[in-house]
Every structure is written in C-alpha cells, then in structure tokens.
Structure 1
Amino acid sequence: MGRDDEDMTRFSLVALAPLALAAIALWLAPWALPLSFALDMHQMALAYGGVGAAFLAGADAGGRRGAIRYLIAALAVWIALWPGGAFHLALGAAWRYLIIIGVLIYLWLGGGARAAWKTRLVYWAVILLALIMSRLLLLGYY
C-alpha cells in the first residue's frame, strides 16, 4: 500500500466520525443522552451519509460509458434524503438508511478496480449506518 493509499485510508476513516458519533448517541439514548439529541444526530447522519453516497456515485459516473447507472444511484440517494418523501412516496427512517446502504454496496460492487481505501470506507460506513438503522427500529422509528 502506497503513501497515497494510506493517506486516503486515514482520511476516509476520519470522515466516518459523524456516523460513529450518531451511532453512539442513538445507542446511549435515552439512558445517558436525551432522546431528542440522539434523533437530531440521526438526522445529521442520514444527511451526511446520503450526501457522501451521492458524491461517490457522481464521482464514479464521471468519464464512464455506463454513467447512467451511477446517476440513477445518486438519484435514489437523494430520494432517500427527502424527509417528506418524493414522488408521493414517504419513507420511514429505517428504509431511508436501507436505501443508502444499498447504494453504497452497489457502488462498491459495481466498480472495476477497487481501491483499498474505498473498500474500507464502504465497509465501515455500512456497519455504522446499520447500527443507526437497527437502533431506530428498536426505538420504533420505522
């Protein structure tokens, strides 16, 4: 692994800090943190993870022949980000996380050569988003 790969790995793991903080906040609520604070963190994590997934989809779409599938993935993420729903389709919080997780996995599987840093980024992002989603399900926020 070259110096650039190490730097990108460090950068991508640091970039996951907001998702980790949201997961910790949700799992500590309502015992150690107020539930309202944890739910605000979940909204922040949803927006942060969604914008990150849309960015990765857009970056993969640039300069490729099959760019339409990456653009569709980016649009799916943006639909998941709209809190009131889009196109008369209102989704619960857990389903919105599931769309973002699905797009991240699709982007990871869809690429040809996978960079090690991108594999680590997707792996940890999916785990953190799944932790957030599972806690929301346990709290009754479908």
Structure 2
Amino acid sequence: MLTYDVQVWSIRKRENRAKPYQLRWRVGHKPHSKSYALKAQADGRRAELLSALRQREQFDVETGLPASELIEQSSPTWFEHACAYAAMKWPDASALRFPRDAGRGDRGSDGFHERSPDDACPEEVPAGVA
C-alpha cells in the first residue's frame, strides 16, 4: 500500500556497533530503519528519502521505500532474465540437441566434446570476432 504519510527522523549514533549510524523513518504506522558504517552514508540516504518526500512521491508501507525505488526493485535482474529466456526456449528444443550444444555459444566449442570432420563448419568465426 502506498501513502504520503512519511516521517524521517535524524540520524542517531549507537556506540559499540559495527554500523553505528542508524537512519530511522516511519511510513504510515510502520517504523523502518537502516544502519550505516559512516555518517556520510546515512546522511546521503536521508537526503534521498527527503528528496523523494519533496517531490511528492508516495512510499510503500511494507518496505519503506519511495515508489520510484519500488519500480527499480521489481525489474528483473540479468540472471532472472536469462533463466526466463532459457525456460522459454527449452521446450522447443529437441532432447538430442542438449548434449551437443551444452556449454557452447552459437558456434563455439565447449571443449568437452570432440568434433568429427563431418561436423566441421568452414564458416565458423573465432570467438571474439564480430
């Protein structure tokens, strides 16, 4: 749930901690906090939160993040994208293709399987050459 009801408090120093500088803020009725090793890091994050408030961004009650940061978090990582692509292509490929192509790029050799002279591809381009 998104809301404009946000309050950002000052940074407090907690002694004898690995990350002694704690930034605290409240979104709705739910408090949030994040600790930092350096005061400058905490100040920078506090400035980001205050900037989002000044730009009239809504904040998520559960995560405590501005709406713009929620969008960034919801986009897939490169790994998630690659897994989704492989899952999309996998059902269409024959089972006999996998041992031959496992670990290979489009045309490169994986080094695990020996090629017979019949498999030679004269149009093959060395790796790294476009």
For the aligned pair, the TM-score class normalised by the smaller chain equals under 0.3
- Who wins on radius of gyration, i.e. which is larger? 2
Q: Which has the higher contact order (CA 8 A, sep 6+)?
A: 1
More helix by share: 1
More strand by share: 2
Q: Normalising by structure 2, what TM-score?
A: 0.22
